[in-house]
Amino acid sequence: MELNLQGKVAVVTGGSKGIGLATARTLLGEGARVVVASRTTTPELAALVGPDLVHIPADLTDPEVPARAVRHAADVFGGLDILVNNAGGPPPGVRLPRFSFLAPTDTDWQVMFEFNLFSVVRAVRAAIPLMLERGGGAIVNVSSGNARQPGAMNVDYAAAKAGLNNLTVALSEEFGPQGIRVNTVSPGPVRTAWWTEEGGAADILADVAGSNRNDVMDKLAPEMMNLTTGRLVDPQEVADVITLLVSPRSASTTGADFVVDGGFLKAV
């Protein structure tokens, strides 16, 4: 399928690994010019850097940085058509999961909202004027199945993502008539660094269950979350949906939430 993304300018936050890296790589392969904003780089991201993909170091919890990253696209490539707010999950230095509402402090809540909600607000605020200059654009906010599946685990994260879902629909309502489409993609558990890195979710759950990291990811986590597919989601599977949503082929899709979760959510 031709996605008609040739020459479009995109910003992808949190694009050094996982879903963000897969999205940046896919957009680049479709002919888009891409700015990746992330705290650090990786060998995989460095291999993509070239005339049509640049990396800007960015700590998105700094209130000034999201707008700076967005404006960089206009400085380097002359404008902005696409914004993928992918950065999220555990803020820098935070280990998840937490197992109770009583676990996170006020500071934990504030940091979680800064990273998962307020950084998006600031990026979108900077992006909309640039998109309006070009007659429209597309924004995808990467949310989570936890936004629609409340529970004691990671309650601060889930609340931030629920706010992101509400924000997405509000933005779609206001700016859709002006040509800016806004949607969410809600992954379930994805086989990313959140799970795979040392000290990550798989290790925390392994300690609780008396298991090991690989068994948690291959068997325990899919069973615990009742995943219909029986496995964690691959980052590329999420990136493919994001890329379709920012394409003109999705011109009548806005204010929607697309679930890519292996069957985690069961509600109609």
Choose, from 77, 118, 157, 258, the residue flagged as catalytic: 157
Outline where the chain has alpha helix (H): 18-29, 43-46, 65-77, 106-113, 119-133, 155-175, 193-196, 201-209, 213-215, 221-224, 235-246
Among this protein's residues, is 157 annotated catalytic? Answer: yes
Cα gap 200→185, rounded to integer Å = 23
- Residue 8 structure tokens: 């479009």
- Find, among 223, 216, 209, the residue nearest to 195 by Cα: 216
- 13, 86 in Cβ contact below 8 A? yes
Cα end-to-end distance, the chain, whole Å: 30
- 219, 231 in Cβ contact below 8 A? no
Provide the 10 A C-beta neighbour count for residue 268. 3
- Residue 245 structure tokens: 């949503």
- 144, 161 in Cβ contact below 8 A? yes
Provide the 10 A C-beta neighbour count for residue 96. 18
Cα gap 49→267, rounded to integer Å = 41
Q: Which amino acid is at 187?
A: P
Instruction: List residues bridging with 141 in a β-sheet.
Output: 85, 184
| Residues sharing a CB contact under 8 Å with residue 129, sequence separation 6 or more, in sequence order | none
Which positions are catalytic?
A: 157
